[in-house]
Structure 1
C-alpha cells in the first residue's frame, strides 16, 4: 500500500496550519451549495491555549509541559508509560474513536469474517449530506463500496459515513456496533472507555482516556500489520474527491506512520501518533488542546523528548543460557533455561540495568522444550523495570520406574 509522492504545497500548508484540508474542490464545483469538509468538525475561532500541564509520572528527567487536558507517551514494545498527565481522565475522544472502528474491521478481515472486496451499502442514516459540519468520505446515497475502500475512508478521510456504513454492515446498527466496540475495549484493558457510536460524534456518555487510546493504538500496530500502512497514507481519492490525511506529522516527520486525528468543540483538537526511530517505537497521545497546530507541535515535542531521553537496552543476549534449572524424576537432572524470545527494554539513556533469575522450585519431569521454568527480572537503581520468562531449552523425559525409585530414595535421605 504505497502512497503517492506529495507536492511542496501541501507540506507548506501542513507547516502553516498543522493539519491538511481535504481536497474536495471537484465535489464543491459540482455542488455549489455544499462546502468541502475542512476538518472533522466545522472550524472554530482560535481560542487561548490551555495552561501548560506538567507530567504527573515520568521515567526520565525534564519531561515537557504540554497545554492539553491530558497527554501520554508509551513505549510500544513493553506498553510502559514513559510520561503522562491526566492519563486516566475520561474525555471526549472525537474521531480518535474511529481507531476502534478500524481495528474491528481489520480483525474481521484477518479472521475472514470480512473480505476486502465485500460490498457495503450506504443507508440514509450513514449518508453524509455534504455539509461542512462533519468529515465525510462522500459515499453516494444507496451506493456500495468495498470494505477496503471503506477502511481507507475511515482511516485517511475520517469519514463518518464510512464508519456508520460499516457499523450497520457488521452489526445491523450503530448501537449494535458500539456493543462490539465496548467488548473489544474491555478485552484490551481500556478501563476508562465507553463508546456510544462508531464515529466519535458528541454523546455525553462517549468517553475514553489517554492511556486507553494508547493501548488501542498499540493493539492496532501489533495486530493489524497487514493494514497498518494505511494509517501512513497521505491521501485517498474516492468518488472523484481527493482528501488529504489530517495528520500533519505524516508530512513533516518521516519516522511517523500513524495514527489518527480528532476534533469536536467538546473534545478540542486531539492526536494519537506513532513514530519509529531505529529500534524504538513510541506512541504519543494529545487530548483536548486548542488548535490543529498545537496538537501537531505538542506531539513533536513529546516524541522528541522521548527519543532523546530513552534508549533500548538488551539485558540478556537472545541465545544465551541464563540459568540451569533442577529437574526431579527425569532422565537428566537439569535443563538449560533461556529466553523464549529476544528481550529489549526502554530505559533512560545511560541507565545501568541489572538482572536476577528466579527459577521454579519442585520442577518435575517430563518437561517440554519451551516450557516456562522461571523468569529473569531486570532492575535499575534498585527498582524493577521489566521481566521476561525463562523457558526450557530442551526436553527432559521422565525417568524409568527403577531410576525414579532410586531418585525418590536419594531425595528421602537428602543425598
Structure 2
C-alpha cells in the first residue's frame, strides 16, 4: 500500500495494549518513537501507519479508531498521568479500520508533517462499546523498548476524552509499526543510550553502559571522553552486546563530566549523526566520611543536609560496636553532651536509601555503643533519643542498615535537638 516507509520490528510475535486494546470496550494509548529510532533521512510527511496482528484474530468489535500524531521532546512517560496534551496532537484519522492478512493499514485523511527534530507521538483511541470475545488477551504485535515508552488506559465505562484522559498504565513496549511517507537511512539507527541517561548526575566511577539494541546491528562502537566528541577514555571500542562494563580496567574521576557516544554497525555501514550523552560522576569523598572527620554540632537545634552521601566509603569495614547490631560505616557527626536528652532524626531524600542511626561514645579508635535505630525501610525517617553525660563526646554514624554488605548512602537531612 505504501511506498516510502520505515519499518520497526514488524516481525515481532509479542502482543500488548497498543495501538489500542482489543480486550476492553474502550482504550486510549500514547506511544513515543524517538527520532534516533525512526532513523529518517529527513523531515517529511507521514501519510499512514500499519499495525500488525495474528491473521486469525478478530478486531470486528475493536475497529472504531481515532488516530493522532504529534511531536514531543519526551522519550518516556514519567507517571500514569503524564499524558501528552491533546493540544499538542493532530488528528490524522477517524473511522473504521479493517484487518487484512494480519495488518491494519491506515491511510490518513490529514497527513502529518514530521520535523525529524523531535520524537514522534502516535496516539490512538478505540471507541466501539464492545470487545472481541474470541480474543483471550490483546492481539496487536508489540516489541520491547525503553522503560515507559507507552502510556495506556483501557476500560469498559466510556469513550476516553483525549483532553482529560484518566490515569493510565505505563509499559516497556511499543507497537510493531510501519510509518508511511518517511524514508529510513540505509545505515543503522543510533542506539538509544539507557544508562547513563543524558545529563545524569552522581554516576558511579565504574558504571555499566547500556543501550537499546538496534535492528540489524551486528556490533557497536563505544567512545568516551572528557570533552564533546572526545575519545581520550575509550576510543571506538567494538562490542557485540548492548552494554559495556568499564570495571575493572577503567575507573573514572570523581566530580567530572564525561561525554559518551555509541554507534551501531551493520552490513550497510555505521550509524551517522549520533550525539553525545553527557553525565557527571559522583562528588568527592565527603569530609565527614570517616569518624575522624565527624562534623561538630555545637548549636541546637542542629540541622545539616548531606548532599554528597552517595560518595561515602565503608572505610575499614562495618561498625560493630553494638553487639549483634552492625551497620555500614557512613557519614559522621559529633557533639558534646550536657547531661540532658538529645533527639537525633535522619530523614532520607529518596526511597532508595534505608538509613540507620548509630550513636557511640569513647574515641574513633575505640567506640562504645550507646544505641542504634532502624525501624523503617527505604525512604523512612529514623529517630533516636539518648540521655547524655555532661562533658562526654558522642559520635553519630548515619549509614545503610546492612551489617554485611556495603550499600551506598544517599541524600539525607540530620537534625539534633536538645530536649
Structure ranking higher on relative contact order (CA contacts 8 Å, 6+ apart): 1
- Taking structure 2 as the reference length, what is the TM-score of the superposition? 0.26
More strand, by proportion: 2
- Taking structure 1 as the reference length, what is the TM-score of the superposition? 0.26
